Amino acid sequence: MNDKSSLAQARQMHGRLVSWLIDDAYPVWATAGFDAVHRTFNERLIPGAAIPDEPRRARVQTRQVYAYARAGNLGWRGEARPLVEAGLSFFIRHYLRKDGLFHTLVAHDGKVRDDRALLYDQAFALLALASAQEVLGAAPDIVSRGVQLRTRLLQQMHRAGGGFDSGIPDRTPLLSNPHMHLFEAALAWKAVSDDPAWRALADEVCGIALKYFIDPGTGALAEVFDENWGVLPESTPGQAIEPGHQFEWAWLLLCQDSTPGSRTRRAAVRLFDIGENHGVKGGIAINALGMDLRMKDPAARLWPQTERLKAASRLGALTADERYWRSALGAAQGLWRFLDHGARGLWYDKIDREGKFVAEPSPASSFYHIICAIAEFGEALQRAA
């Protein structure tokens, strides 16, 4: 396959994804996916309806704010602004703790179900506040709330040597995943604000990743660490080399610094190669590798397909290298398999170890991944042109 045919097929695949997003997904999730009684977002959908009265995770509410904040720029002509406003209002009203951080879980009516403050959820709160400015503008209350949350994080969860605790009250083990989303949020804020503290936050998380998260020998990024940033054994719950996170970190590192030859870019390329060479089976990015990069969990989730697409697309645009466009096309085709659901605007979230899709409600949490991937794919194709 030559570069021209790879790009041509990638453009066709992008058109299919955009049509599905605009014509099917956004309308369904704006109606069945929105709880008009409580003015909040539902957790999961079955064809034509939501699962009633489920507890609402903070990360889902903030991800859906992100989803509809980006809708207009992606071509959807529905009423995105009221959804963004309602989602932010419910989130701030019901999830905000007295210490300025956010709860992780409330009931459908807003009553607190889990009072913990997780770094993961604070990161998505920051991302929602940054992305909401695409439709609400740089409103003073949004900007000040973002700054206040950043301040609370630095006061209550920041570690003396750099990086952040995983949550309150459970501060350890230390985790790379919430740092990844904090990195993403800092980059989003850096794009809409000239406040140098956002750049400083992005620089710090990038430095922590390069120093601690990525093994200098293998180039792979681990998940779980002790209080001194030592990598915990593979027997530790959650410890693995996740192909999806190799791709996601690769994309973020390239967003931070794509300078040819830089340490950051070299690390990103190596992460991508690990995910691509060890973590893609039958055209699908699988769930997990062992620390030796051998297959650990051959099942697959939807989201690693989106992260593979983002990283491959950005590398394709940066290098014009045919192999990255082939990977981007393969990732888009793999993602489409999950979206080819049969029910309008819904998706499969899991493939089991036998290679079969799991029949279950579609989780709202995946929408953010899908939207970000389609947006990055389109922007990379534009740069390639």
CATH number at residue 205: 1.50.10.10
Dist CA 381 CA 374 (whole Å): 11
H or E element at residue 281: strand 280-281
Indicate the DSSP class of residue 38: T
- Residue owning tokens 């850096």: 190
Between strands 112-114 and 105-106, the pairing is antiparallel
Nearest to 245 by CA among 288, 283, 202, 300: 288
| pLDDT attached to residue 223 | 98
| pLDDT attached to residue 1 | 44
CA dist 192 → 80, 168, 189, 225, 301 (Å): 19, 29, 5, 32, 31
- Residue owning tokens 């192999």: 323
Nearest to 384 by CA among 1, 4, 19: 4
| pLDDT attached to residue 4 | 59
Cβ atoms of residues 254 and 206 within 8 Å: no
Which phi and psi angles does 127 have, rounded to 5°?
Answer: -65, -40
Opening angle at CA 349, ends 346 and 354, nearest 5: 130
Dist CA 299 CA 197 (whole Å): 40
Its domain, for residue 373, covers 3-384
Which phi and psi angles does 118 have, rounded to 5°?
Answer: -100, 140
Dist CA 4 CA 10 (whole Å): 10
| pLDDT attached to residue 48 | 84
| Helix boundaries (H) for 80-212 | 80-95, 119-131, 133-136, 140-156, 176-192, 196-208
Q: How many domains does the chain have?
A: 1
The low-confidence residues of the chain, meaning pLDDT below 70, are 1-4
**First-residue to last-residue Cα distance in the chain:** 18
